Amino acid sequence: MAIKPEMLLKVGNEPSESAYSDIHVMLYALGVGMGRDPMNPDELPYVYERGLKTLPTLLTVITRPSFGGNLLGDAGVNLVMLVHGEQRLRLEKPIPPKGELLTLTKPLALLDKGKEKGAVYITESEIRLKGSNELLGTLGSTLMFRGDGGFGGPSSGGPEPHELPGRAPDLTVEMPTRADQALLYRLNGDRNPLHSDPEFAKAAGFPRPILHGLCSYGIAAHAVLKAVCDYDHTRMKSFDVRFSRPVFPGETLLVDLWTESRLVSFRARIKERPETTVLNNGRCELFR
């Protein structure tokens, strides 16, 4: 079944509402590797309600797109062949440890890369605090519809990837994942069976379930907070990345970092597959 571009490009005017509590904050932090050592005084505040801190990338799991959860399926997208291509985040202020949010999502582009390469769907969501209507942050997302190209749309457009420095990384941070990492992370709301069901993963072309792209994204943010920000969550202003290869639960991410004043460039490789880059063109801007 061909996709329906008119549905995917329709702009909605009504924001979606969501609410979160300290449980969501702590569960997300555990899902991206915080608190492995319960005696670590730097990580404990992210997983313990006393003096609770919020990871900046938490914004990716406590919001709901305003176009509704069934849009992609209703528009004919082959969900088995759907993967996350890019994620962008910009914060205006630190995320409160609990709250109610309003999210307004708009489509930016639907690109046709051809029948063999699929389609690219780019959206942007503006998140505000319910009550004050104060802007909290903006999320940008690029989804790859690997089975839905050839519908006759435009082929070019979208954000340009950040270029990494040509020199060797200033430092590399090892971030191990657990064999059950995806099963833990999926409790944040993404129940896509690609990350839990071996048979579904094989149908999608993978030998076994893969880690959520947004989980590896959060782990990379964890690495930047640990190595550059001294675990100060209020310093991170933006966090953008391109997903280039899947991560399998149990593998170790090697997060390469380049620091230049308030700009941190990054990528992530796999220790067990050292020539494999899984996150690329990473760009993190700091408030200070």
Helix or strand holding residue 180 (H, E): none
Number of folded domains that form the chain? 1
Q: Find the radius of gyration of the CA atoms of the chain.
A: 18
The answer to whether 143 touches 78, Cβ cutoff 8 Å, is no
The answer to whether 210 touches 132, Cβ cutoff 8 Å, is no
Q: What pLDDT was estimated at residue 93?
A: 96
Q: What is the mean pLDDT of each run of 10 residues along the chain (288 residues)?
A: 87 89 98 97 97 98 81 88 93 98 95 92 97 97 92 88 97 98 97 94 93 97 98 98 97 98 97 95 97
Q: Which of 112, 148, 190, 256 is catalytic?
A: 190
Active site (annotated) includes residue 180: no
Query: Whole-number mean pLDDT of the chain?
Result: 95
The answer to whether 127 touches 140, Cβ cutoff 8 Å, is no
Q: What pLDDT was estimated at residue 273?
A: 94
In the sheet where 252-260 sits, what is the strand order?
Answer: 16-20, 99-112, 119-129, 135-145, 82-91, 236-243, 273-286, 263-270, 252-260, 171-176
Q: Which of 24, 112, 148, 195 is catalytic?
A: 195
Helices 213-227/22-31 angle, 10° precision: 90
CATH number of 55's domain: 3.10.129.10
Active site (annotated) includes residue 233: no
- Residue 168 belongs to domain spanning: 5-286
